[in-house]
Amino acid sequence: MLEAGDIITLTAGAWRLREPLASSSYGLLWHAEPSGGGPPAVLKLVNTEQMALALPPQRVRWSACLHAEIAFLGALRPWDQRHIVRLLDSGEHLGQPAMALERLDTDLARHLDALRSRGDAPSFLQALDWAAQANQALAKVHQYGWRHLDLKPANLLLDRHGALKLADFGTNRPLLDRNAHSYAGSANWQAPEQFFPGADGLYLTDARSDYFALGALLYHVVSGAMLRFCSACGGAWREHGPDAAASLRARHAGGLPAILAPDEAALYLRHAGLATAAAADAALGLLRALLAPRPERRPRHALEISRLIERARSACAKDTMRSAA
């Protein structure tokens, strides 16, 4: 069992554990520092206690997830890391993959919680800026031949200057592999095709599945709420696990819950605080494009999303200038 003060030796050097940060079914995150001194980092390790209890296929999958994450981050060029967390070191611990990652101040989930706990909220322009940064991060993931499949506030690290970096690439799937795959990601932030399997019980996703998650993220940041579609998927998964999709379909006569209900669109616009119809149309057009139920109706690539964001930003700026006048 790991304890504060333990030394973990990776390829480039040794790291001293300071305190645990988080854990999941297969991963452990520790605040660590180089044993020879230097900036602190986050050490990501396999949860060996859970590994010992897991079935052999799960063990293989968990190890493969970390190996894939190390491979992706290790392949990035320095100029491609502006919005993606940096890999500082990697290697093995107790026969399992391990890595050291740069540590940022917080993540978007905790930052939003802190804002709202004191009655504050990000402006619509700030929400658009974060969406643009997340889109740039996804563009790099896709450029390197992967889909992320787990975009959510907790996986967007945030520094004190408001810059975002995407983290946690264990759910990555190769873009060139167009075959359906096993379940991956977090139910509260998934596109319909990522939560509802096909007849074979598998999931057919692509880069546009990440764009749906970007839309769910934008809605959450602006409105302070979670889409009811996403909440329903998350609740069903907690109650029924792998049978969640079938249970949810049964509750909706074989169909899917509505993704963006009229009252949710109204809530989004109310919190955006836009005064003109042009600004509202641009803001809602961006959200509806990202949240299209079918992937072929969503934006085709990051550049198309950038244009939609810029259109919303420009309309919002004009809206602000008119209000000030």
298-312: pLDDT as tens digits: 999 999 999 999 999
Report the CATH number that the domain containing residue 292 is assigned in CATH.
1.10.510.10
Query: Of residues 73 and 23, which shows the higher confidence score?
Result: 73
Q: Are residues 14 and 75 in the same domain?
A: yes
DSSP string, 206-269: -HHHHHHHHHHHHHHHHHSS--HHHHHHHHHHHHHGGGHHHHHHHHTTTS---SS-HHHHHHHH
Asked if the model's pLDDT at residue 325 lies above 80, the reply is no
Q: Domain boundary at 102, 132, 156, which?
A: 102
- Mean pLDDT score, 217-227: 97
Dihedral class, residue 211 (left if φ above 0, else alpha if ψ from -120 to 50, else beta): alpha
Asked if the model's pLDDT at residue 63 lies above 70, the reply is yes
Asked if the model's pLDDT at residue 52 lies above 90, the reply is no
Query: Of residues 162 and 309, which shows the higher confidence score?
Result: 309
Query: How many domains is the chain built from?
Result: 2
Q: Are residues 133 and 281 in the same domain?
A: yes
pLDDT of residue 18: 94
Q: Are residues 47 and 168 in the same domain?
A: no
Interatomic CA distance for residues 169 and 201, integer angstroms: 23
- Mean pLDDT score, 228-236: 96
**Cβ(134)–Cβ(151) below 8 Å:** yes
Q: Are residues 57 and 188 in the same domain?
A: no
| 3-state SS, one letter per residue, for 3-23 | CCCCEEECCCCEEEEEEEEEE
**Cβ(7)–Cβ(58) below 8 Å:** no
- pLDDT classification of 232: cutoffs 50, 70, 90: very high
Interatomic CA distance for residues 205 and 191, integer angstroms: 9
Q: Domain boundary at 102, 134, 162, which?
A: 102
Query: Of residues 93 and 27, which shows the higher confidence score?
Result: 93
- pLDDT classification of 161: cutoffs 50, 70, 90: confident
Q: Are residues 32 and 151 in the same domain?
A: no
Interatomic CA distance for residues 127 and 106, integer angstroms: 17
In this structure, of 15-19, 62-66, 163-167, 173-177, the range with the lowest mean pLDDT score is 62-66
Structural domain boundaries, residue 202:
106-324
Q: Domain boundary at 102, 131, 162, which?
A: 102
Q: At what angle do helices 124-143 and 207-223 cross, to 10 degrees?
A: 160
**Would residue 291 count as lying in a domain?**
yes
Identify the three-state secondary structure at position 95: coil
Interatomic CA distance for residues 279 and 313, integer angstroms: 8
Q: Are residues 111 and 74 in the same domain?
A: no
Write down how long the chain is. Answer: 325
Interatomic CA distance for residues 101 and 169, integer angstroms: 12
- pLDDT classification of 209: cutoffs 50, 70, 90: very high
172-198: pLDDT as tens digits: 889 999 899 989 899 999 999 999 999
Q: Are residues 143 and 189 in the same domain?
A: yes
What does pLDDT average to over the chain? 92
Interatomic CA distance for residues 218 and 305, integer angstroms: 12
In this structure, of 26-30, 132-136, 137-141, 247-251, the range with the lowest mean pLDDT score is 26-30
- The beta-carbon contacts of 116-122 under 8 Å, at least 24 apart in sequence, are 116/224, 121/224, 121/271, 122/221, 122/222
pLDDT of residue 36: 86
Report the CATH number that the domain containing residue 78 is assigned in CATH.
3.30.200.20
